[in-house]
Amino acid sequence: MHNSYLDLQPALGYQFQQPDLLQLALTHRSHNGTHNSERMEFLGDSILNFIIGEALFEQFPDAREGQLSRLRASLVKGVYLTRVAKQLGLGPYILLGPGELKSGGSRRDSILADAVEAIIGAMYLDAGMPSCKRQVLEWYADRLKTLSLEDTTKDNKTRLQEWLQSRKLALPGYEIVDIGGQSHSQHFEVECTVSERGLVFRGKGQSRRQAEQIAAGKMLAELENAGNQDATLSIETDPGTDN
């Protein structure tokens, strides 16, 4: 195993008993054609959801289920995982194939976020849940300290963007379709479009920003509702393998 992997461990704050697990987590499929790191991403994603979910459950005893779900989503997907990866300095340690390396894959947000999940899976396999949980909570400590329930009720545009990015969908488009009223009391109407889903929603507000936020909120509600219905349908129609 190359020493560079061992050099990463102080930044992670974790010493692997089985260093090969770290190497595996950092080996992108483009490097050797295997999907072992993706299996670790799957495991790490599940573990991260549990660890952060439990932390939020304990931190906000009066929060509703929807508030906890939105807070967790903001911490375990896309944008925030990329931030964690950059803080840990993962980019130079990810093993990539020639094509990904040439195109700057080590700086690509999706690859960085996947690497964080894979490392979490590797830590779990290396030492079990208590050690893995302790280290993940250290990575998230500063953010958890500043988190509040107000974070669940603001910035629909950011939440919509993160929802789309986590599913590798294009970002929404916003267009002013109407401006009315007098100059001192104008109102704006804005369309929010997600082309890949064929959805368009309108929002009205006293400013363009307010109208965009309202339209984004309607879009996000529809997408989340459709996603929940798809998940339910999948469960109901899956014949399973047990007899």
33 inside domain: yes
40 inside domain: yes
89 inside domain: yes
Collect all residues with Cβ–Cβ distance below 8 Å to 67 and sequence separation of at least 6: 60, 149, 152
Query: Average pLDDT of 186-194?
Result: 93
Q: Which of 205, 159, 215 is nearest to 181 (CA)?
A: 205
242 inside domain: no
Residues 178 and 233 reside in one and the same domain? yes
Q: pLDDT tens across 59-90, in order?
A: 999 988 888 988 898 899 777 898 899 999 99
pLDDT number for residue 97:
74
190 inside domain: yes
Cα separation, 152 vs 169, whole angstroms: 22
- Name the band, by pLDDT with cuts 50, 70 and 90, for residue 203: very high
Cα separation, 141 vs 144, whole angstroms: 5
Strand, coil or helix: 207: coil
Give me the domain span that covers residue 20: 3-149
Last residue of a domain, one of 149, 167, 183: 149
Catalytic residue among 100, 114, 117, 189: 117
pLDDT number for residue 22:
93
pLDDT number for residue 3:
40
Residues 43 and 107 reside in one and the same domain? yes
Residues 114 and 189 reside in one and the same domain? no
Last residue of a domain, one of 88, 123, 149: 149
Sequence-ordered alpha helix ranges (H) in the chain: 3-12, 19-25, 29-32, 36-59, 65-76, 78-88, 98-102, 109-127, 129-146, 156-166, 208-237
Between 110 and 204, whose confidence is greater? 204
243 inside domain: no
Looking at the predicted structure, is the pLDDT value of residue 93 above 90?
no
Residues 143 and 182 reside in one and the same domain? no
Q: What is the rounded average pLDDT for all residues in the chain?
A: 85
Provide the 10 A C-beta neighbour count for residue 193: 16
The total number of structural domains that make up the chain = 2
117 is catalytic: yes
Q: Which of 118, 78, 95, 103 is nearest to 28 (CA)?
A: 95
Quote the crossing angle between the two packed helices 129-146 and 109-127, to the nearest 10°.
Answer: 140
What CATH number is given to the structural domain containing 40? 1.10.1520.10
165 inside domain: yes
8-state DSSP, 198:
T
Instruction: Please report, rounded to a whole number, the percentage of residues in the chain having pLDDT higher than 70.
Output: 84
Residues 114 and 165 reside in one and the same domain? no
Catalytic residue among 45, 100, 189, 212: 45
150 is catalytic: no
Q: pLDDT tens across 154-184, in order?
A: 578 988 998 999 899 999 999 999 998 876 6
Looking at the predicted structure, is the pLDDT value of residue 32 above 80?
no
What CATH number is given to the structural domain containing 202? 3.30.160.20
Instruction: Please report, rounded to a whole number, the percentage of residues in the chain having pLDDT higher than 90.
Output: 48
Last residue of a domain, one of 120, 149, 178: 149
pLDDT number for residue 47:
97
pLDDT number for residue 206:
83
Residues 126 and 7 reside in one and the same domain? yes
